């Protein structure tokens, strides 16, 4: 109708809450699940092991390679530029340092990547090309997480594995961020400055839930080593049961023959 010309356009979202508030709200339940994966629980109990941590670093390497490549590629995009902080946040070089510490010079040939991590990275590359505004959701999920709970996890990791001088723990250190809390405030205000249509905003919120889901899947690691190991145990035990069964059957038959 004619009136609609005078009504505010649906892309003005001043009546809605800030993106930073909304994104936190829609991912609240996902965060609880992300905190309670097997790996995160091991962390919280101070029982994270070296193999667990090494495997996590391998996944993080792939994830940040894809994420930071997508951010670099879109650094001038109006929806990405405000949250583009390579000097303060970039993690790739730090992870490389940690991998070199644990695996040695030829770490590139030694790292293993779970299938779930590959799916996550595929999504990151895809949105880097097709929906750069969704990078808001992915950068939020990783970087704000690293600046929050990640700080505690770093100290736990150090204690659990008896690491010294920050060796192997570069991933948790943000030398370019003097106050994580203040930086998080700045980051949120930058997120809120991005002008999105309602449709784009809903897309970003949905993508944030998805980003958490990808991270939960990665941490489950059920498509790598660990399952192979479990499968092996199940396989061995069923084989053992079969042999035992055969033995019992043979014994029964021989007792029967003896009794004759």
Candidates 81-89, 126-134, 138-146, 248-256: pick the segment binding ligand HEM (CB under 6 A): 138-146
Binders in 5-24 for ligand HEM, by CB under 6 A? 24
Candidates 6-14, 64-72, 141-149, 230-238: pick the segment binding ligand HEM (CB under 6 A): 141-149
Closest CA to 64 of 96, 104, 34: 96
Task: Determine the Cα angle at 133 with ends 143 and 18, to 5°.
Answer: 70
CA dihedral 197, 202, 204, 205 (to 10 degrees): 140
Candidates 36-44, 50-58, 111-119, 128-136: pick the segment binding ligand HEM (CB under 6 A): 36-44
Contact 141, 208 (CB under 8 A): yes
Task: Determine the Cα angle at 49 with ends 224 and 178, to 5°.
Answer: 105
Query: In the complex with ligand HEM, which residue's Cβ is closer, 90 or 107?
Result: 90
Q: Which ranges constitute the DSSP H helices of 140-225?
A: 145-147, 149-161, 180-193, 198-220
> In the complex, what is the shortest distance from the CB of residue 57 to ligand HEM, in angstroms, rounded to a whole number?
15
Binders in 144-173 for ligand HEM, by CB under 6 A? 144-145, 148-149, 152-153
Query: In the complex with ligand HEM, which residue's Cβ is closer, 107 or 127?
Result: 127
Binders in 169-228 for ligand HEM, by CB under 6 A? 212, 215
CA dihedral 20, 138, 215, 208 (to 10 degrees): 50
Q: Tokens 């930071």 identify what position? A: 68
Q: Tokens 């970087």 identify what position? A: 143
Binders in 53-92 for ligand HEM, by CB under 6 A? none
Count of residues touching ligand HEM (by CB under 6 A): 17
Distance CA 58, CA 117 (A): 9
> In the complex, what is the shortest distance from the CB of residue 77 to ligand HEM, in angstroms, rounded to a whole number?
21
Q: Which of 31, 77, 119, 220 binds ligand HEM (CB under 6 A)?
A: 31
Footprint on this chain of ligand HEM (rule: CB under 6 A): 24, 31, 34-35, 40, 43-44, 140-141, 144-145, 148-149, 152-153, 212, 215
């Amino acid at each position: 109708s004619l009136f609609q010309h005078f009504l505010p356009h649906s892309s003005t979202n001043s009546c809605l809450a800030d993106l930073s508030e909304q994104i936190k709200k829609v991912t609240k339940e996902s965060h609880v699940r992300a905190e309670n994966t097997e790996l995160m629980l091991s962390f919280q109990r101070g029982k994270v092991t070296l193999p667990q941590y090494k495997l996590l670093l391998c996944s993080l390497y792939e994830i940040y390679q894809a994420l930071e490549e997508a951010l670099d590629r879109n650094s001038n995009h109006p929806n990405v530029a405000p949250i583009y902080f390579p000097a303060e946040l970039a993690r790739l070089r730090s992870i490389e340092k940690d991998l070199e510490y644990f695996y040695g010079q030829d770490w590139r040939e030694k790292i293993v990547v779970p299938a779930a991590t590959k799916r996550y990275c595929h999504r990151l590359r895809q949105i880097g090309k097709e929906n750069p505004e969704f990078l808001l959701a992915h950068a939020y999920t990783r970087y704000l997480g690293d600046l929050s709970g990640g700080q505690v996890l770093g100290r736990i990791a150090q204690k659990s594995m008896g690491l010294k001088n920050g060796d192997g723990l570069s991933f948790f250190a943000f030398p370019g961020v003097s106050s994580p809390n203040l930086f998080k405030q700045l980051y949120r205000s930058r997120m809120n400055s991005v002008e999105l249509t309602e449709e784009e905003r809903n897309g970003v919120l949905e993508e944030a839930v998805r980003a958490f889901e990808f991270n939960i899947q990665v941490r489950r690691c059920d498509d790598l080593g660990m399952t192979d190991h479990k499968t092996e145990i199940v396989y061995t035990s069923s084989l053992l049961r079969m042999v035992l069964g055969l033995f019992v059957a043979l014994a029964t038959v021989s007792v029967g023959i003896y009794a004759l």
